């Protein structure tokens, strides 16, 4: 696969689709979904070089289009708890109250925002979901994980191709062929990611929460 080709071109090279069959925007979205799939299935330790850390204020931190790796208050890791515990964690008379001096800070997510208790000196390590912009000459999006992203995107493009053949051309044979290709591309993406992780001493596993 040539290194200097746009990501959408690399996807189409695997599926053989044309812009008449699957739109450029659809392929772009498939690449973006491939990024999210890789991130969700890669262990934290390998994601950290791709991550960004931001402060969590009293107003919380918006989780729009990002995946949480971990949350800390000072040097202490925060445990995620249910939003239902919010009132108790703030009430000095509750068994769930969290004092400023606690060694066990917590965080919760509500309305797509992350909050840490106690408030102050809190940070979230996260990976903004990288969106593929096909209007630019973009040949990479997730570094060493690009091949897995492209093959996953190809599985989605093949699914769209199958739908096109069935719904537009009413060709069941071509549709079935594209469906088989979609499954093969997904298995290829899985094998690519699993092999990449194994080479670094890790196993495939869901991590964090994709928001």
- Condensed to tens digits (0 to 9), the pLDDT of residues 166-205 reads 999 899 999 999 999 999 999 999 999 999 999 999 988 7
- Measure the CA–CA gap between 101 and 58, rounded to whole angstroms: 17
Tokens matching residue 108: 């919760």
Structural domain boundaries, residue 90: 47-128
58 and 108 in one domain? yes
Dihedral sign, Cα of residue 191, residue 197, residue 203, residue 205: negative
Asked if pLDDT for residue 211 goes beyond 50, the answer is no
- Measure the CA–CA gap between 156 and 94, rounded to whole angstroms: 49
Residue 1 maps to a domain:
no
Residue 79 — pLDDT band, cuts 50, 70, 90?
A: very high
Angle between helices 24-40 and 146-167 (to 10 degrees): 130
CB distance 156 to 15 below 8 Å: no
Asked if pLDDT for residue 208 goes beyond 50, the answer is no
Residue 132 — pLDDT band, cuts 50, 70, 90?
A: confident
Last residue of a domain, one of 101, 128, 155: 128
Last residue of a domain, one of 63, 98, 128: 128
Residue 3 — pLDDT band, cuts 50, 70, 90?
A: low
Residue 206 maps to a domain:
yes
190 and 149 in one domain? yes
Asked if pLDDT for residue 161 goes beyond 90, the answer is yes
Residue 2 maps to a domain:
no
- Measure the CA–CA gap between 105 and 71, rounded to whole angstroms: 9
Percent residues over pLDDT 70 in the chain: 93
Asked if pLDDT for residue 209 goes beyond 50, the answer is no
At 66, which helix (H) or strand (E)? strand 66-73
Asked if pLDDT for residue 12 goes beyond 80, the answer is yes
Residue 1 — pLDDT band, cuts 50, 70, 90?
A: low
Asked if pLDDT for residue 13 goes beyond 80, the answer is yes
Asked if pLDDT for residue 151 goes beyond 70, the answer is yes
Q: The tokens 């919010």 sit on which residue? A: 86
What average pLDDT does the segment 159-164 reach?
A: 97
What average pLDDT does the segment 113-140 reach?
A: 87
Residue 163 maps to a domain:
yes
Burial of 88 (0-12, 13-18, 19+ CB in 10 A): middle
HSE-CB for 167 with a 13 A CA cutoff? 8
pLDDT of amino acid 49: 86
At 175, which helix (H) or strand (E)? helix 172-199
Compute how many other C-beta atoms are within 10 angstroms of the C-beta atom of residue 103.
7
Residue 162 maps to a domain:
yes
Q: What is the domain count for the chain? A: 2
Residue 47 — pLDDT band, cuts 50, 70, 90?
A: confident
137 and 124 in one domain? no
Residue 56 maps to a domain:
yes
The strand pairing partners of 107, in sequence order, are 80, 116
At 78, which helix (H) or strand (E)? none
């Amino acid at each position: 696969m040539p290194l200097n080709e746009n990501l959408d071109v690399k996807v189409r090279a695997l599926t053989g689709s044309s812009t008449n069959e699957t739109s450029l925007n659809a392929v772009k979205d498939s690449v973006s979904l491939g990024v999210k799939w890789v991130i969700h299935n890669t262990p934290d330790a390998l994601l950290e070089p791709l991550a960004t850390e931001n402060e969590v204020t009293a107003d919380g931190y918006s989780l729009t289009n990002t995946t949480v790796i971990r949350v800390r208050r000072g040097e202490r890791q925060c445990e995620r708890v249910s939003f239902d515990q919010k009132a108790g964690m703030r009430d000095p008379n509750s068994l769930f109250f969290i004092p400023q001096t606690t060694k066990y800070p917590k965080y919760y997510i509500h309305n797509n925002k992350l909050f840490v208790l106690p408030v102050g000196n809190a940070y979230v390590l996260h990976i903004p979901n990288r969106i593929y912009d096909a209007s630019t000459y973009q040949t990479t999006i997730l570094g060493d994980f690009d091949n897995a992203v492209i093959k996953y995107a190809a599985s989605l493009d093949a699914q769209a191709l199958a739908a096109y053949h069935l719904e537009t051309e009413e060709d069941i044979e071509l549709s079935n062929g594209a469906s088989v290709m979609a499954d093969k591309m997904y298995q290829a993406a899985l094998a690519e990611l699993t092999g990449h992780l194994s080479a670094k001493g890790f196993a495939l596993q869901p991590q964090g929460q994709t928001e």
